[in-house]
Amino acid sequence: MKKLLARLPVIIIGIPTVYWLLVHADNAIKLAFFAVIALIGQYELVSMLEKSCRKPILEWLSSCIILTSSYFGERALYASLVVCVVLAMLTTVFRGLKGDGTKYFCHVIFSIFYLPFCLSCYYLLSLNIGGMALFMILASVWALDIGAYIVGMTLRGPKMAPKISPNKTISGAIGGFICSVAFLNCAAHYGWANLPMPQTVYASLVIAIIGQIADLFESVIKRESDIKDSGKLLGAHGGVLDRIDSLLFLGPLCYFIYTLSV
């Protein structure tokens, strides 16, 4: 209960802020919001992966290039991704033989895809289906987390991945799945947002499954880095990555389901 109360201030302030940014802010402000998340997230990610004080200069530059390019559409986004991969290759070559060239390159490429590219897909998605529809998609991920927490704490039972995330249970995973799928399909069915029903059925299943895998994926990174949270920026919530880990990989998937599959 104390942990829940400690998290309330961020929830009370954060959710209305995200709602306003996605639904009412203009595209430039919306893009700036995603850029701030990407830049902070990349700093946390590099700190976890490398356990060093290296500033992710190339990652930050790539974030600016990719997110700015997404303002001009899907083709510009894909082109910028290629440009940033080439930049990573060149940087790796110019760094010379330091014994960590391959690891450095892999970390940069992963960071570029994990944050700015995935977040750019959310930005493009908001242009295609609207800010309110995107907010409902994000809310379905929050419903996944809330449902998993409440059902898991109530029913408990066998652990889902005890070595990776000791607090997660199979009952919680099932409860979160049901809550997420039910929420997003209700949003489409009752017209809470402009979400086409056929695609929403597929999207809800993808979100409920991949969202939980993505959460565990970040837990693997944290466990192998021997840290509890990705950062301390959000207090009891941990770092930025701790709050968006379930969302990131869903960006390209939801973009494909709602736009490219039409």
CB 221 within 8 A of CB 242: no
Percent of the chain scored above 90 by pLDDT?
77
Predicted local distance difference test score (pLDDT) of residue 7: 60
Question: Rounded to an integer, what distance in angstroms lies between the CA atom of residue 226 and that of residue 222?
Answer: 6
How many separate helices (H) and strands (E) can be counted in the chain? 11, 2
Q: What average pLDDT does range 155-166 have in this prediction?
A: 90
Predicted local distance difference test score (pLDDT) of residue 64: 96
Instruction: Give strand ranges (E) for the chain.
Output: 159-161, 165-169
Better-scored residue on pLDDT, 88 or 51: 88
Predicted local distance difference test score (pLDDT) of residue 156: 87
Cβ count near 110 (within 10 Å) = 14
Q: Give the type of residue at 7.
A: R
Instruction: Identify any residues that bridge with 161 across adjacent strands, giving them in sequence order.
Output: 165
Residue 3 binned pLDDT confidence (cut-offs 50, 70, 90) = low
Q: Provide the CA 187 distance to its chain's centre, in angstroms.
A: 21
Predicted local distance difference test score (pLDDT) of residue 4: 53
Residue 41 binned pLDDT confidence (cut-offs 50, 70, 90) = very high
Six-digit token string for 61:
């530059």
Q: What average pLDDT does range 233-246 have in this prediction?
A: 84
